[in-house]
Amino acid sequence: MNDPKRYMLTLAIYLNSRGCSFVLFEGTLSPYDWGILDCRGARKDASCLSKMTELLHLYDIDALVIQHTGADGTRRALRLSMLNTALEAAARAHGVPVFKYSRADVYQTFASAGFANKQSLAKVISLHIPAFERHVPPPRKPWMSEDAMMGLFDAAALALVFFHRANKLDLPHPGALPSESRA
């Protein structure tokens, strides 16, 4: 075996209006580190990019997984698309391969699990990753904003799509969750 690393380190980052969420995986279903980076203020984008680049330097990652926000990917705010592009450029400059998946890719990958909304997707992910079970936010009411923890599950979903496409992960069969109406 030529590679001294025992496991592949995969960093998944999901950008949102508050900053970003990340999950670092050491192997297919082994989260090593995770968190939510809150970025506020006038220089919020620069601060967020700095924190994400710091993650790239802190860990010697083998792959970065982000959301595909290009013209044929998921529609996001211009600010988030530009930040995503800057993160991709920083990773490539660091010699890290970047993998991008759209929201449609996530839905297609998890379709067999029978999820109906982000809440049930978080439950599916917590079935695969027991450490995340206590982080599943309660169902939100229509007047509530999305829980900040949901970004953690968005990042984990991107990583699980990456592992599934690399044929390293089998997802649950239909009927793993009770069906819910799409919100």
Which domains does the chain possess?
9-165 (3.30.420.10)
Ramachandran class of 13: left when φ > 0, alpha when ψ lies in -120 to 50, beta otherwise: beta
149-180: per-residue pLDDT in tens? 888 999 999 999 999 888 765 655 434 444 44
User: What pTM was computed for the model?
Assistant: 0.84
**CA dist., res. 146 & res. 64, Å (int):** 25
With b for 16 or more beta-carbon neighbours within 10 A and e for fewer, the 68-84 pattern comes to: bbeeebbebeeebbebb
pLDDT at position 178 is 41
